[in-house]
Amino acid sequence: MIQFRIQPDSEIPASNQLFNQIRFAIASGQYPPAYKLPSTRALAMQTGLHRNTISKVYRQLEEEGFVESLAGSGIYVRTQGHEGGSRSKSPILKQYPEAYKVVQQALDELLNQGCSLNEARELCLAEVDWRLRCSARVLVVVPSQDIGAGELMVDELQEALKIPVQLVAMEELSAVLDQTTSATLVTSRYFIGEVEAIAAPKAVRVIPLDIHDYAKELNVVKSLPKASCIGIVSLSPGILRATEIILHGLRGDELLVMTSQPKDAYKLQAIIKRAEITFCTDQTSYLAVQAGVQIVLDDLIRPPKLIRCENYIGSLSINLLKRELGLV
C-alpha cells in the first residue's frame, strides 16, 4: 500500500497535498486502471486526516475524471484512456453500473486490433441490427421424432415472451432457412450440435435453452417407499425415455415406472389404474390425466396423486432469451 504523507506545517492545504499525491500515484501507474482506492477509514488512519476531508478529495478526483465511484463497491481508478473529460451519463448506467466498463473494454479491444472509431461503431451497430432482425422471427427446432419437446417449448415461450413462436422439425430446417434472410433458432441443449451444424451457413443465430432441473420432483421420488409405482406422462417421448433412465439410476429396480404420452389412451388408463403418483410434464398431459381419472373414478380404490411439474425450460434461460431478443 502506498504511504501518503501530510506535512501539517506546509502552506499547501492538507486536502491539496493528498489530492496531488493520489493523482501522481494514478499518473505514474502505481494505482493502475480499475485499482480500488483505500477506504476513507484506512486513509484517515494513515494520514491523520478527517474522513470528511478524504471524501472531499475523492469527490474532486471523480469530478476531474481520475476515478469513478461504484455504489456499494468503492472508488476505482478509471480505465486507461478515459480519464478526464465530460460525457453524457445515460440513465441506463444507474441501472447497470458495470455496463459502461464492458463497453469501454470492448471498444478498447477493437481499437487495439486496428479498428478506427468509425469502424468500431459500424461493427457494434451491425451486430445489434442483426440481432434485432433475427429476433423478428423465432423458430423452435427439435428432431421430428421428439416433436413433443418442441410443442412444450413453443407453449412455454409464447406464454413467457408474448410473441409468435414457430415450431420446425430439424429435418425441415434447411429448407425453411432457404426461405428467410434472418431468424433466431431456439432449441434444447440436447440438440444444439445438430442445429448449429445446419444453421452454420445461414444468416441466423442459435440459442440453446437449459431445461428445468426437476429438483423438487426428484426429491419426491427419493422419498417414495420401495415397490411404489410411478406414472410419467409427457408430450415428449424424449423426456419419457430420459426419465426412465434417470429414475432407474436413482432407485434401481426399487420402483415401477410407467410412461405414456397423453394421446395414448391405453397406456394412460394403465397408469391411472396402477400408479400411486403420476408426474405430468406439461399442461396438456396434466389435463389428459385429469380427464382419464374422471372416466374411471368409480372403479378406483384410490385415485393417483397428480403432480404438475415445473416448466420444461429453466427460468434463467427464459430471462436470458428475453434479453437476447430485446424484450426487456
In sequence order, the 6+-apart residues with CB closer than 8 A to the CB of 240 are 232, 234, 259, 260, 261
Q: Is the pLDDT of residue 274 over 70?
A: yes
410407467: which residue's cell? 258
494505482: which residue's cell? 31
Q: Is the pLDDT of residue 78 over 90?
A: no
Separation between Cα atoms, residue 68 and residue 310, nearest integer Å: 43
C-alpha cell at 219: 426429491
The pLDDT value recorded for residue 84 is 44
C-alpha cell at 123: 461493427
The pLDDT value recorded for residue 170 is 95
Q: Is the pLDDT of residue 93 over 80?
A: no
The pLDDT value recorded for residue 174 is 93
In this predicted structure, which of 59-63, 163-167, 311-315 has the lowest mean pLDDT? 311-315
pLDDT, averaged across the chain: 87
pLDDT bucket at 1, cuts 50 / 70 / 90 = low
Separation between Cα atoms, residue 143 and residue 191, nearest integer Å: 8
The pLDDT value recorded for residue 88 is 54
Contact call for residues 234 and 212 (beta carbons, < 8 A) = no
In this predicted structure, which of 104-108, 231-235, 268-272 has the lowest mean pLDDT? 104-108
167-188 pLDDT per residue, tens: 999 999 999 999 887 889 999 8
